[in-house]
Structures are given as structure tokens and as C-alpha cells.
């Protein structure tokens, strides 16, 4: 019904071919995520990924150059989407600096709580391990965290300005510490969810960073 209503005679459905391929690509990416999670990056075979998506290797190789390439694309897609979203919302949070800090901690906690976020974290771990040996992956990880750090550092700086205090350390070092706490808690929670519950996120962020941004000195 939509076709006849289209006024343009030139491109009624011209994308069908491309669209179909794009869908294949997406199915491969989704399948790859599942396979990577259960086999690891090195442990996954192109064959299994293709099969999981309902294709053969032929489809894979006509869409991607290699397994690594697919992995990088997958990770960038997923991670940037999630973080961009969070960064956006952070800007417009109301309340005192400390409130905003707690809000941020809650969000980081929720990311781990949601299955989707936990998957993502595991993929990151995969990337990290590869990064320990492989320059290309190291740069990927570095550029991602560098961007993140800059972002957080910006917020830290702005916050100190807002409360009219001088940061006790360079903002990017404080940002590094916040990221470190996030990563470190996530790692420990992954390994031992009982002993390191996600509930630890908020009180710890509040305890360690809260006093830095309080308007009042105790």
C-alpha cells in the first residue's frame, strides 16, 4: 500500500537489495555476540558464528574481512551506544553535585545489573585480554577509555567550579579513579556476586568521592 502512494518514481524500493544485506550483517553481529560470550574471542570460530545466524561461512566472508574486524565493529557499536546515552542524560541531572554523583553511581550499577550491560562488560573483558597482547586492540581500548576519561574529567572540573573549590588533584586523575572504581567493582562482582553485590556501588562512590564535592566542609 505504501508503494503506490510514493510519489517518487525513481526510488520506490531500490534499497531492498542493500537492506537485505544489511539485515544479514546485523544477524551476523547479533549471533557473534552470543557466540563470543560463550566461547570467547579466540574460542569462537567463523563457522559457529555464521551457523548461529543461520548462514554458512560464505555469508560471513562476503560481509566481513575477519573475525577480529567483526569483533571491533560489534564492540564499538554496542559500547558507544550505551555510553553516549548515559553521558547525554548526565548533563541534565538536577540536584546538588553529590546528588548527581549518586545518580551516576546508580547508573553504573544498573548497567551491570541489566543483563545486556553485563554482556557488554564481558565483551570488554575479552577485548582487554586481547589488548594485553595485541597493539590494535590496545589502541581500540585506549581510545575508548580516553574519550570516557575526558568526558568524566570535564564533569569533575565543572563541578569543582560550581562549588567554588579547587580540585585536590587534576580532574583527569580523579576521573581515572572513578573509572577504576567502576571497573574494579564490576570485575569483582562478576567473579563473586555474593561477596561483592551491586549494592556496594552507591555507598562507595558516595563515601570516596562525595566529600570532594560537598559545598560544606564538615
Angle, alpha carbons 118-121-127 (nearest 5°): 150
Q: How far is the CB of 163 from a second copy (least distance, A)?
A: 16
Q: Which residue, 17 or 133, is less far from DNA as judged by CB? A: 17
Identify residues 13-52 at the interface with DNA (CB under 7 A): 13-17, 20-21, 24, 44-48, 50
Tell me the H-state helices in 114-170.
115-131, 135-163
Q: Which residues in 50-85 are b (16+ Cβ under 10 Å) and which e? A: bebbebeeebbeebbeebeebbeebbeebbeeebee
Phi, psi values for residue 216, rounded to 5° = -100, 140
For residue 105, give the 3-state DSSP assignment.
Answer: helix
For residue 26, give the 3-state DSSP assignment.
Answer: helix
- 38 Rama sector, left if φ>0, alpha if ψ -120 to 50, beta otherwise: alpha
Judged by CB under 7 A, does residue 67 bind DNA? yes
Q: How far is the CB of 89 from a second copy (least distance, A)?
A: 23
Residues that bind a second copy in the complex, under the rule CB under 8 A: 37-40, 42-43, 122, 125-126, 128-133, 138, 141-142, 145-146, 149, 168-169, 172-174, 176-177, 179-185, 187-188, 190-192, 195-196, 200, 203-204, 207-209, 211, 217-218
Distance from C-alpha of 50 to C-alpha of 29, rounded to nearest angstrom: 10
Q: How far is the CB of 190 from DNA (least distance, A)?
A: 26
Distance from C-alpha of 137 to C-alpha of 66, rounded to nearest angstrom: 14
Q: How far is the CB of 114 from DNA (least distance, A)?
A: 30
The item of a second copy, DNA, none sharing an interface with residue 59, based on CB under 5 to 8 Å by kind, is DNA
Q: Which residue, 16 or 91, is less far from DNA as judged by CB? A: 16
The item of a second copy, DNA, none sharing an interface with residue 14, based on CB under 5 to 8 Å by kind, is DNA
Cell for 30? 547479533
Q: Which residue, 36 or 64, is less far from a second copy as judged by CB? A: 36
> Number of residues in contact with DNA, rule: CB under 7 A?
24
Name the residues that contact DNA, by CB under 7 A.
Answer: 13-17, 20-21, 24, 44-48, 50, 55-59, 61-63, 66-67
Amino acid at each position: 500500500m505504501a508503494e503506490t502512494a510514493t510519489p517518487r518514481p525513481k526510488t520506490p524500493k531500490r534499497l531492498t537489495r542493500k537492506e537485505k544485506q544489511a539485515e544479514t550483517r546485523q544477524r551476523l553481529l547479533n549471533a557473534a555476540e552470543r557466540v563470543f560470550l560463550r566461547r570467547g574471542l579466540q574460542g569462537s570460530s567463523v563457522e559457529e558464528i555464521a551457523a548461529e545466524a543461520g548462514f554458512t561461512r560464505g555469508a560471513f566472508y562476503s560481509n566481513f574481512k575477519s573475525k577480529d574486524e567483526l569483533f571491533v565493529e560489534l564492540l564499538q557499536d554496542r559500547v558507544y551506544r550505551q555510553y553516549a546515552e548515559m553521558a547525554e542524560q548526565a548533563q541534565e541531572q538536577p540536584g546538588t553535585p553529590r546528588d548527581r554523583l549518586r545518580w551516576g553511581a546508580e547508573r553504573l550499577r544498573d548497567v551491570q545489573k541489566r543483563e545486556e550491560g553485563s554482556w557488554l562488560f564481558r565483551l570488554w573483558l575479552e577485548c582487554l585480554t586481547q589488548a594485553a597482547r595485541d597493539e590494535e586492540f590496545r589502541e581500540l581500548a585506549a581510545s575508548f577509555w580516553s574519550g570516557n576519561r575526558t568526558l568524566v574529567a570535564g564533569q569533575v572540573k565543572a563541578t569543582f567550579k560550581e562549588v567554588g573549590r579547587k580540585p585536590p588533584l587534576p580532574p583527569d586523575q580523579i576521573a581515572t579513579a572513578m573509572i577504576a572504581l567502576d571497573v574494579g567493582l564490576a570485575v569483582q562482582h562478576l567473579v563473586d556476586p555474593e561477596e561483592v553485590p551491586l549494592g556496594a556501588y552507591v555507598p562507595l562512590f558516595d563515601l570516596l568521592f562525595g566529600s570532594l564535592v560537598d559545598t560544606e566542609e564538615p
